[in-house]
Amino acid sequence: MAQASDLSKINEKSPYYDITPGNQIYGGGGAREFHTGEWRTQTPVIDWNKCTQCLLCTPVCPDSCIVVKDGKRQDFDLDHCKGCGICEKACSFGAITMKEGI
């Protein structure tokens, strides 16, 4: 059985012999290391004064970037948010705004 892949060592400088057959990645949760948030052009910004903690935004996020802790949503996980804007549309209180250039 393979060791869990050390993703810090498989990168754009890895020679071919350090890349696994079929590019297989061993060990779970590897997607956490892949910062898809870099693809984002629009960024969700929350106005905490308007947020009622209704949590309607949480389940609609396709990238699970609205983490709930102790019954309350936290700020966005911008490492993985691709800026799709679904949360903005789901918010009934106008608490989320998509902004460019931040």
Partner 1 sequence: MSIRERMSGNEAVSYAIKQINPDVMAAFPITPSTEIPQMVSTFIANGEMDTEFIPVESEHSSMSAALGASAAGARALTATSSCGLAYMWEILYVAASDRLPIVLALVNRALTGPININCDHSDSMGARDSGWIQIYAENNQEAYDNFIQSFRIAEHPDVKLPFMACQDGFITSHAVENIELLETEVVRKFVGEYNPENYLLNSEMPMAVGPYANSPFYMESKYNQRMAMKNAKKVILDVAEEFEAISGRKYGFFEEYKTDDAEVAIVIIGSAAGTSKEAVDKLREQGIKAGVLKIRVFRPFPGEEIAEALKNVKYAAILDRAESFSAYGGPLGSEIKSALYDAKSGCTAINYFYGIGGRDYTVEAAEGVFEELIDIMNGNKEIEQFKYIGLRQ
Q: Which of 8, 9, 12, 69 binds partner 1 (CB under 8 A)?
A: 12
Q: Is 62 in the site for partner 1 (CB under 8 A)?
A: no
Q: Is 2 in the site for partner 1 (CB under 8 A)?
A: yes
What does DSSP assign to residue 5?
P
Q: Is 9 in the site for partner 1 (CB under 8 A)?
A: no
User: Among 50, 52, 45, which residue's Cα sits nearest to residue 87?
Assistant: 45
Per the structure block, which two tokens stand in for 96?
């989320």
What does DSSP assign to residue 30?
G
Which chain residues interact with partner 1 by CB under 8 A?
1-2, 4, 12, 14-17, 19, 21-28, 30
